[in-house]
Amino acid sequence: MKNLLVIQSGGPTAVINSSLAGVIKGGFERSDKTGKVFGGLFGIEGVEQEKIVSLEKFKEDGLLDLLKQTPSSYLGSCRKKLPDPQEDKAFFENIFGILKKYDIGYFFCIGGNDSMDTVNKMSRYAKEVGSDVVVVGVPKTIDNDLNLTDHTPGFGSAAKFILNSMRQLKKDTEVYQVPSVVILEAMGRNAGWLAASAALANDSTMNACDVVCLPEVAFDVDAFLGKVDNVAKKQGSVMVCVSEGIRDKDGKYIMENEGILKRKNDKFGHAALGGVGQTLRDMVARNLGLKARSIELSTLQRCWSSGASLCDVTEAYGAGRMAVEYACQGLGGVVPGFKRLSDEPYKMEIVPYDVTEIANVEKKIPSSMISSDGFGVTEEFIKYAKPLACGEPELKYRDGQIQFAPKVW
Amino acid sequence: MKNLLVIQSGGPTAVINSSLAGVIKGGFERSDKTGKVFGGLFGIEGVEQEKIVSLEKFKEDGLLDLLKQTPSSYLGSCRKKLPDPQEDKAFFENIFGILKKYDIGYFFCIGGNDSMDTVNKMSRYAKEVGSDVVVVGVPKTIDNDLNLTDHTPGFGSAAKFILNSMRQLKKDTEVYQVPSVVILEAMGRNAGWLAASAALANDSTMNACDVVCLPEVAFDVDAFLGKVDNVAKKQGSVMVCVSEGIRDKDGKYIMENEGILKRKNDKFGHAALGGVGQTLRDMVARNLGLKARSIELSTLQRCWSSGASLCDVTEAYGAGRMAVEYACQGLGGVVPGFKRLSDEPYKMEIVPYDVTEIANVEKKIPSSMISSDGFGVTEEFIKYAKPLACGEPELKYRDGQIQFAPKVW
């Protein structure tokens, strides 16, 4: 009877704690195989520092429900890139020594692209040294850029925040008789899933998203201005959603061209972005003479659990539980992912994917989901993305405040 | 049997259409006194241009409920400042001519500070020329700066969006072990009610708001940096909410000092603001060496009906209905306002205030509601503001999209 240890890693999402709740619940349910449920604080760094806490208190009524509506990593996170197990054995010896001390047999890491690299290396090391620790990943990322899986927990809720921002901002912008352009800046470095999801704001009664600018399409200033101008002439106000990571045909970030922001890269070598919405706003105002406003959703889009998608919450929870199932079956080095069975009605099943095929690969929007002019999405994208934003969870509030799980340590 | 005409004016709020729904419903209910219900598009400008539409279709089941959850002015808005009735009779002769054409006996304007000026002038002119048109205002403004009334519809929902942004951003910011400062920029030119409402984010389990910067308090850079530094040393992450309108002891906007933004004033002579969050972020990063991020909620805070306060929605609707009551009683030149009877349990009644005492007066936060160091609020503010953000309306969604009332014209 081995214990279970779960960590969270990478950037927050609205449902990363739903997956945590799933792992905890899974641990409680499989008490035939598992002992105590522990959490490591601040990702793998916390394990290194032996910041390990009991999560047994979540057996109390209602606490897991509160955890499911708590955004961001309840256990804390880190952005540490693990060394190669071949090159730095000492790092892994230390980690696995701590796992042994707590009698851990099942290790879970809930995270995105970079965190799957952690799962991969931990799993490889375990195999190499013949450890009986089973390492399983649980996918999360608002960016939806994980390989193999149909989609990733966290995306649906972020997409929903963006689409409902577009809808409500459209109402806000059409109140005056003066035509105006609203430019919403969404996250997404290399994959434009989030910016594209703004197109889910449209329905038969209103155009709440007229233009999307995606990193998958080389950004051309003249084409963009022409598109905005056309829409403005036709209907007055123009709603734009731009991905933070758009680049020109030479692969240069648009902001770099404009010389507005030059920030340092992060530990994984990703450029720090943000501010492209302002660049586009100035472009529109200067060249088209239209009233323009840019809004950067910033971190709100990844922590807005008060507007989460029920589909997303349910699936994130399901992936967490299934991860425990896999671990109990001795299936290490895998990640529960989603395989779509049908769009309408939406049906999917959770299947184990090999983490080596997920780690360090970024899934971009296929060209079949992007409209021919590059400033919109096709029906295929809508069919794909719509079900992921559906459903509203019942949330607990007190005095107008969304309620969160209290610290149990 | 005279008809009823309603317009909306000034900036949007999440519940301005709840008040519109109240006026429409009031009109339907008082069919003993009133004829048809008309709406004027784009505020008083639309009336001038005879853009007048029938709102009778709202008798259909469910449409008024959809209207209540539609943010921003359903009928459109304008920011026109009316001339003085003494100086420009022609303007009013034209407007009252159009009212006569539609056989309007009851005229309603839903709006904020500047719109109450419109109500005041329309009402004065009606009296001067002996017109039988009864003019009644319906208050709205996220800024909560209207005189006499305890509070203003629109404030509670904007306050709720801000407080839940602070709560969710706090969760987002505390995931890493690195101390960081989050600076949320809220609207509010001269009155800091919205920035202060960030303090409603706190509860016994978490500090989600550590510092507020209000226009009521002269901003001192050293005192601010000292405060942030203290909190950072004590607890790591620091949550700040700053009002767009903060000024130094000489009354100069902080951004002007920093020279970041100099924009033109609007038609009412108000300076166009925004960007102070970035200024404070740079201040903190440069002087304290802390990781800092600024987030400008921008127009989202005034149109976020998907997170509205039930108290606010209900009261906005009630004010609209009461306005019709007053009009039917021949009470012109008044505005239904709120008189608080008790904080706990929260009780208030709607009473008629004289529009001349409301128009063009800005209500600021009294010093008894501001903490002695100027960077927080007192218990008196919490008691005052808390009930206004309470309760969650049941909202209609389809495919993850918040639903709005369709155009009925």
Q: Tell which of A16, A75, A172 to mutate to test the B interface (max B CBs under 10 Å).
A: A172
- Per-residue pLDDT tens digits for B75-109: 999 988 999 999 999 999 999 999 999 999 999 99
Q: Please answer yes or no on whether A298 and B298 come within 8 Å at the CB atom.
A: no
Q: Please answer yes or no on whether A172 and B72 come within 8 Å at the CB atom.
A: yes
Contacts of B302 in chain A (CB under 8 A): 172
Chain A residue with CA closest to B8: the answer is A175
Contacts of B401 in chain A (CB under 8 A): 163-164, 167, 200-201, 203
Q: Please answer yes or no on whether B205 and A70 come within 8 Å at the CB atom.
A: no
Q: Is residue A206 part of a domain?
A: yes
Q: Are residues A93 and A198 in the same domain?
A: no
Residue found under tokens 């100069």 = B252
Q: Is residue A274 part of a domain?
A: yes
Q: Is residue B292 part of a domain?
A: yes
Q: Are residues A290 and A190 in the same domain?
A: yes
Catalytic site residue B143? yes
Q: Are residues B133 and B7 in the same domain?
A: yes
Average pLDDT over residues A4-15: 96
pLDDT grade for A274, boundaries at 50, 70 and 90: low
Q: Is residue B268 part of a domain?
A: yes
Give the lowest-confidence range in A289-293, B57-61, B263-267.
Answer: B263-267
| Distant-in-sequence, close-in-space partners of A373: CB < 8 Å, separation ≥ 6 | A223, A227
Question: What local confidence, expressed as pLDDT, does residue A83 receive?
Answer: 95
Q: How far is Cα B79 from Cα B115, in angstroms, rounded to an integer?
A: 8
Q: Are residues B129 and B12 in the same domain?
A: yes
> Could you say which of B176, B390, B397 has the minimum Cβ distance to residue A400?
B390
Question: What local confidence, expressed as pLDDT, does residue B270 receive?
Answer: 52
Q: Please answer yes or no on whether B400 and A389 come within 8 Å at the CB atom.
A: yes
Domain boundary among B288, B303, B318: B303
Q: Please answer yes or no on whether A167 and B402 come within 8 Å at the CB atom.
A: yes
Chain A residue with CA closest to B174: the answer is A76
Q: In whole angstroms, how far apart are CA A167 and each of A178, B72, B401?
A: 19, 11, 8
- Residue B131's nearest CA partner among B155, B101, B96 is B96
Contacts of A402 in chain B (CB under 8 A): 164, 167-168
Q: Are residues B234 and B282 in the same domain?
A: yes
Q: Are residues B44 and B24 in the same domain?
A: yes
Q: Are residues A242 and A182 in the same domain?
A: yes
Helices marked H in B236-335: 254-258, 276-288, 300-303, 310-328
Q: Are residues A62 and A177 in the same domain?
A: no
Q: Are residues A99 and A182 in the same domain?
A: no
Chain A residue with CA closest to B344: the answer is A399
- Per-residue pLDDT tens digits for A173-190: 999 888 999 999 999 989
The mean pLDDT of chain B is: 94
The mean pLDDT of chain A is: 94
Chain A residue with CA closest to B400: the answer is A390
pTM, to two decimals: 0.95
Q: How far is Cα B381 from Cα B26, in angstroms, rounded to an integer?
A: 33
Contact B143, B112 (CB under 8 A): yes
Q: Tell which of B166, B168, B402 to mutate to test the A interface (max A CBs under 10 Å).
A: B168
Q: How far is Cα B167 from Cα A334, in angstroms, rounded to an integer?
A: 34
> Could you say which of B8, B77, B175 has the minimum Cβ distance to residue A73?
B175
Q: How far is Cα B209 from Cα B221, in angstroms, rounded to an integer?
A: 19
Chains A, B: CB contacts within 8 A come to 164
ipTM exceeding cut-off 0.90 for this assembly: yes
**Which DSSP state fits A270?**
P
Contacts of A167 in chain B (CB under 8 A): 401-402, 404
State the nearest Cα–Cα gap between B45 and chain A, in angstroms: 9
Q: Per residue in B20-36, is it b (16+ CB within 10 Å) or e — as a string?
A: bbbbbbbbbebeebbbb
- Per-residue pLDDT tens digits for A288-298: 999 999 999 99
**Which residues of A are catalytically annotated?**
143
Q: Are residues A262 and A297 in the same domain?
A: yes
Question: What local confidence, expressed as pLDDT, does residue A113 receive?
Answer: 85
Contact A335, A115 (CB under 8 A): no
**Which DSSP state fits A271?**
B
pLDDT grade for A263, boundaries at 50, 70 and 90: very low
- Residue B280's nearest CA partner among B335, B225, B338 is B225
Q: How far is Cα A172 from Cα A17, in angstroms, rounded to an integer?
A: 33
Q: How far is Cα A74 from Cα A183, in angstroms, rounded to an integer?
A: 32
Average pLDDT over residues B250-275: 58
Token digits for A392? 């509203």
Q: Are residues A296 and A159 in the same domain?
A: yes
Report how many domains make up chain A: 2
Q: Is residue A276 part of a domain?
A: yes
Q: Please answer yes or no on whether A177 and B400 come within 8 Å at the CB atom.
A: no
Domain boundary among B270, B303, B336: B303
Contacts of A296 in chain B (CB under 8 A): 295-296
State the nearest Cα–Cα gap between A160 and chain B, in angstroms: 7
Domain boundary among A262, A286, A303: A303
CATH number, domain with residue A58: 3.40.50.450
Q: Is the pLDDT of residue B285 over 90?
A: yes
Contacts of A401 in chain B (CB under 8 A): 163-164, 167, 200-201, 203
Q: Is residue A121 part of a domain?
A: yes
Question: What local confidence, expressed as pLDDT, does residue A256 receive?
Answer: 58
> Could you say which of B303, B389, B397 has the minimum Cβ distance to residue A171?
B303
Residue found under tokens 């309408």 = A344
Question: What local confidence, expressed as pLDDT, does residue B262 receive?
Answer: 41
Q: Is the pLDDT of residue A359 over 80?
A: no
> Could you say which of B76, B205, B307 has the minimum Cβ distance to residue A307?
B307
Contact A201, A169 (CB under 8 A): no
For residue A186, give the 3-state DSSP assignment.
strand
Q: Are residues B165 and B132 in the same domain?
A: no
Q: Is residue B326 part of a domain?
A: yes
Q: Is residue B266 part of a domain?
A: yes
Q: How far is Cα A108 from Cα A19, in angstroms, rounded to an integer?
A: 11
Q: Please answer yes or no on whether A76 and B307 come within 8 Å at the CB atom.
A: no
pLDDT grade for A261, boundaries at 50, 70 and 90: very low
Contacts of A76 in chain B (CB under 8 A): 174-177
DSSP element (H, E) containing B385 = helix B379-385
> Treating both helix axes as pointing N-terminal to C-terminal, what angle do A16-29 and A310-328 enclose, rounded to 10 degrees?
40
DSSP element (H, E) containing B293 = strand B291-296
Q: Please answer yes or no on whether B78 and A201 come within 8 Å at the CB atom.
A: no
Chain B residue with CA closest to A157: the answer is B400
Contacts of B406 in chain A (CB under 8 A): 205
Q: Per residue in B68-92, is it b (16+ CB within 10 Å) or e — as a string?
A: bbbbbbbbbbbbbebeebeeeeebb
Average pLDDT over residues A356-374: 93
Average pLDDT over residues B203-227: 97
Average pLDDT over residues B351-372: 94
Please give the residue range of the domain that contains residue A250: 155-303
Contact B402, A164 (CB under 8 A): yes
Residue A43 dihedral angles phi and psi, to the nearest 5°: 65, -155
- Per-residue pLDDT tens digits for A93-122: 999 999 999 999 999 999 998 899 999 999
Average pLDDT over residues B328-356: 97
State the nearest Cα–Cα gap between B249 and chain A, in angstroms: 30
**CA-based torsion, B225, B228, B232, B237: positive or negative:** negative
CATH number, domain with residue A290: 3.40.50.460
Q: Is the pLDDT of residue B359 over 90?
A: no
- Per-residue pLDDT tens digits for B291-300: 999 999 999 9
Give the lowest-confidence range in A64-68, B354-358, B389-393.
Answer: B354-358
Average pLDDT over residues A141-170: 97
Contact B308, B69 (CB under 8 A): yes
Q: Is the pLDDT of residue B283 over 60?
A: yes
pLDDT grade for A270, boundaries at 50, 70 and 90: low
For residue A135, give the 3-state DSSP assignment.
strand
Contact A309, A279 (CB under 8 A): no
pLDDT grade for A260, boundaries at 50, 70 and 90: very low
Q: How far is Cα B409 from Cα B406, in angstroms, rounded to an integer?
A: 9
